[in-house]
Every structure is written in C-alpha cells, then in structure tokens.
Structure 1
Amino acid sequence: MTISALAFALLNVLVKQSGNFNVNQVVFFRSIGTLFFTIPYLIKNKINFLGNKKQLLIARGVVGCIAMTLFFMSLNHLSMGSAVSIRYISPIFAAFFAVFLLKEHIKYFQWFCFLLAFMGVVILKGFDSNIDTIGLVYALLSAVFTGLVYIIIRKIGNSDHPIVIVNYFMIISAIIGGVLSIKHWTNPQGLEWLLLLSLGIFGYFGQVYMTKALQTTEVNQVAPLKYIEVVFTMLIGAIWFKEIYTLISLLGIILIIVGLTLNIVLKTKLK
C-alpha cells in the first residue's frame, strides 16, 4: 500500500498538470497507458482475461471509473491539496461499508485511530477558505465510490489475479472515457504525449499494489494506509512546486502517522 500511495501521489501531480485537457480524455489516457502493461503481462503469463468473478470484476471497473472521473473533476475546481484531503475520507467509508457488507468487526479504538488520521489530513492540507461547492461535492462522491471499490476488491479476494482486476478497470475506463471525450478531444502536442501516457505508468503500479494489499488484508486495517499518499503529495509539492509548509502542516503529518501506526499496532496486539 505504501508503494501504491507513492505512485498515486505522482499521478495526482501529473493529472493536475493536465488540466487543459477534458477530464474524460485524461481518464482515457490514464487507462490506455496502463493497458500497455496489463495486456502483455496477461498474455505472457497465459492468464485468463475474463477472470472468474466476472460480475464483481465489471462492478469494480464501473465503480472505479466513476470514482476516478469524479476525483479528476474535483482537481479542476479545487487545489490539489484540498482535493486529495477530501478524497481521503474514503477509508472511513470503506470501514463503514465493511461492517455491513463484509461483516468485519471494527473496534472502538480503530474508529478513534481513523478519526485521528482524518484530523491529520484536514490539518495537513485543510480546506480552502473559499472552497468551491461543486469541487467539494465531486471529491466527496469520489470518496464514497472509492470506499465501495475497496469492498468489491475484498469480495473478489484471491479468486482473480490482481492484473486481471486492474485490466477490467482500465478497459472499462478506457471505453467510457474514450467515448465521452470524442466531442471534446484535444490533440496532445510534443511532451504532452509523454505527460498523458505517464498517467498510465504511475496508475498501473499504484493500482496493482493497492489491489494486492486489499486482497490479502482486511479493509479496515489496510485502507487507512492510503493516507500516506497525502504525505507523499506534500513532499513532492515541496520539491516540485517549491511549496512551503508550516508547523501546522508538520502537525498534520504527525497525526496521520500516529493514527495509522496505532491502528496497526493495537489491532495486532489485541487479536
């Protein structure tokens, strides 16, 4: 999940820089770039493209596409920090859904840890004083659908190879994004091709390692680790965009790390 978080943090930066393209076109290139990895892998290893739990695989693809599109849309209305922070309510939704759909038990101390980590995210990046309402709605809806993605992947379990799951997601997203971007298509120029195709590279590694993590560990334990992406985004922002962070931002990092560490340590000790 840590590798996944770093890859997605880099993806966030590239998506933000692709703001002059229609969001569906960005989704299309994000998906096509990843398919350059998944399809050859499946062919080389002679893995069945169709998978076993086809209905869940399709559901994961559709729900994932909606979540991704909504998040990319939120980046057009909010600062990157605000959009990422709001989206990271998703592990809370995932834990909530897990109680009812997967019958997983969440202890009281875990809810406290989730709250502590969430407070850290809010402090770390916070919400813009003049936050755009439409952007806020997009980010919140993205968080809800992302939480559902965690649950669907957990339901698939080890029945299907992680690359099969990712391949379904990318094919469905490429089709939806491609069709919806036809009327608003803008031809990339020069390095813009590299920028757009790089979305798929970082997205591939982020998606594969997230899928592996969710297949092998309970949702309520591994999902909160996605908060680390916010930390990576902050560090990349400092190096790439020369952003300056205050003591309040450092306090946010500490709260996130403490919340996540407590959840893992206490859960392990109290089993």
Structure 2
Amino acid sequence: MAPIFAAVFAIFLLKERVKKLQWIFFSMAFAGVIIIKGLDTQINSYGLLLAFISALFSGLVYVVISKIGKGDHPLVIVNYFMVIAALVGGSLSIADWTTPIGIEWLFLFSLGVFGFLGQIYMTKAFQIASNTQVAPLKYLEVIFTVLLGISLFGEIYTFWSLIGIGMIITGLILNVIYKAKQSN
C-alpha cells in the first residue's frame, strides 16, 4: 500500500504525474490486498489496520526523501528516520516489552544491521530516481516475505493469499514495465 500512498502524495507534494494506466496497476495491487484480507480469515484485522497506517506513513516518508533530494547525505536522513522510529516504536512497545534471550539478541542485532543497510540504499534510490519509479519496487518485499515465511517459519499460505500476492506482484511488474517504456 505504501507505493499507492506515495503516488498520491507525490502528485500533491512533488507535482509528479501518474498516468491512468499506472492507477490501474496500483488498483490491481490494492485489490490483491483486499483479496488477502477479505478472503483469508487468518489475517488479523487489527494487524492489517496497523500495516495500513504504516503504509500511509511510509508513503509520506518516500515523498519527503524525494523532496529533500540530494540536499542531505543519505546517512543524515536515515539517522533521523531511525531515531524517530526508535522513539515511536519504543514508546508503543513498552506495555508489551519482552527482553530478548540467547540467540534472539543476534536476530535483533541482524535486524538492525540489515534494516540500516536497506534504509541507506532505499534513501539513495529515492534521491536519484522519481518516486513513482522507486516506490512500486517495495512490492518485492512480498516475494521475500513469502519465501522467508515458508523456508524459515514453515508458514502455509491459502489459495486466496497466493492469488492476492500474485495480483500485487503483477501490478508491480506492469507498473515497472510501463514506466520503463515511458522513459525511453
């Protein structure tokens, strides 16, 4: 959902143009999310609401990074992002805090390192390319999440979840192909 919000914010804040066909691709991805939630009873509504709010703010962050452009070094932007995320996330998790034990510390450390590296490269991408080119690539997270969920956690996905995921990925691919043709 973040790329859809980013496209909407980019129209108003960056004066970017989003073509009608791109809206169809975004709608396909959104329909995939609706299918996942509407037809998969294993999805928690509260969790989906939190993910939706997260996507809203992520879309806004992408546009702000694009608006800043190359004016600030990516490390400065990532530093602000990480500090704000730690403050907000930390304060919201106080009531449910659980101290990591054993190997969980390694997982937590790895999450921080890989999150930092991912944030650096995402920030560089948003500084270099247009928002509507980079933001849809965030849908690739779906592929990695599914693969890691299956391989590491033994998750099983329903038929409708896979259809929804397929629609999200198809919308992404079509948007990227369309943007590439428009650039040429």
Smaller-chain TM-score range?
Answer: 0.7 to 0.9
Q: Where in structure 2 are the equivalents of 1:188-203 lying within 5 Å?
A: 188-203=100-115
Name the residue aligned to 1:91.
Answer: 3
Gap runs ≥5 in structure 2: none
Name the residue aligned to 2:77.
Answer: 165
Name the residue aligned to 1:270.
Answer: 182
* One-letter amino acid matched to 2:174: L
1:201-251 deviation digits (Å, cap 9, x = unpaired)? 121122112111111111122101111101111011111122334555554
**Structure 1 residues 126 and 231, CA gap change in structure 2 (3 angstroms):** farther
Q: Where in structure 2 are the equivalents of 1:48-127 lying within 5 Å?
A: 89-123=1-35, 125-127=36-38
- Higher mean C-alpha deviation, range 113-122 or range 147-156: 113-122
Matched, 1:210 2:129: no
Distance 1:173 1:257 in 2: 27
Name the residue aligned to 1:221.
Answer: 133
Distance 2:94 2:170 in 1: 46
Give the C-alpha shift of residue 183 in structure 1. Answer: 7.7
Q: Where in structure 2 are the equivalents of 1:4-19 lying within 5 Å?
A: none
Secondary structure, aligned partner of 1:157:
helix
- 1:241 is matched with which residue: 146, 153, 176? 153
Q: State TM-score, norm by structure 2.
A: 0.82
Q: Which has the higher helix share?
A: 2
**Structure 1 residues 113 and 171, CA gap change in structure 2 (3 angstroms):** same
Gap runs ≥5 in structure 1: 1-88
Q: State TM-score, norm by structure 1.
A: 0.58
* One-letter amino acid matched to 2:119: Q
Distance 1:221 1:96 in 2: 13
Distance 1:133 1:252 in 2: 16
Name the residue aligned to 1:141.
Answer: 53
* One-letter amino acid matched to 1:135: G
Identity of aligned residues (%): 58
* One-letter amino acid matched to 1:149: V
Aligned residue-pair number: 182
Distance 2:6 2:78 in 1: 19
**Structure 1 residues 133 and 248, CA gap change in structure 2 (3 angstroms):** closer
Secondary structure, aligned partner of 1:135:
helix
CA root-mean-square deviation: 2.7
Name the residue aligned to 1:58.
Answer: none
* One-letter amino acid matched to 2:79: N
Distance 1:139 1:205 in 2: 22
Give the C-alpha shift of residue 140 in structure 1. Answer: 1.9
**Structure 1 residues 269 and 186, CA gap change in structure 2 (3 angstroms):** closer
Distance 2:55 2:115 in 1: 17
Matched, 1:256 2:168: yes
Contact 1:121/1:227 (<8 A) preserved? no
- Higher mean C-alpha deviation, range 177-186 or range 101-110: 177-186
Contact 1:90/1:147 (<8 A) preserved? yes
Distance 1:138 1:180 in 2: 12
* One-letter amino acid matched to 1:190: G
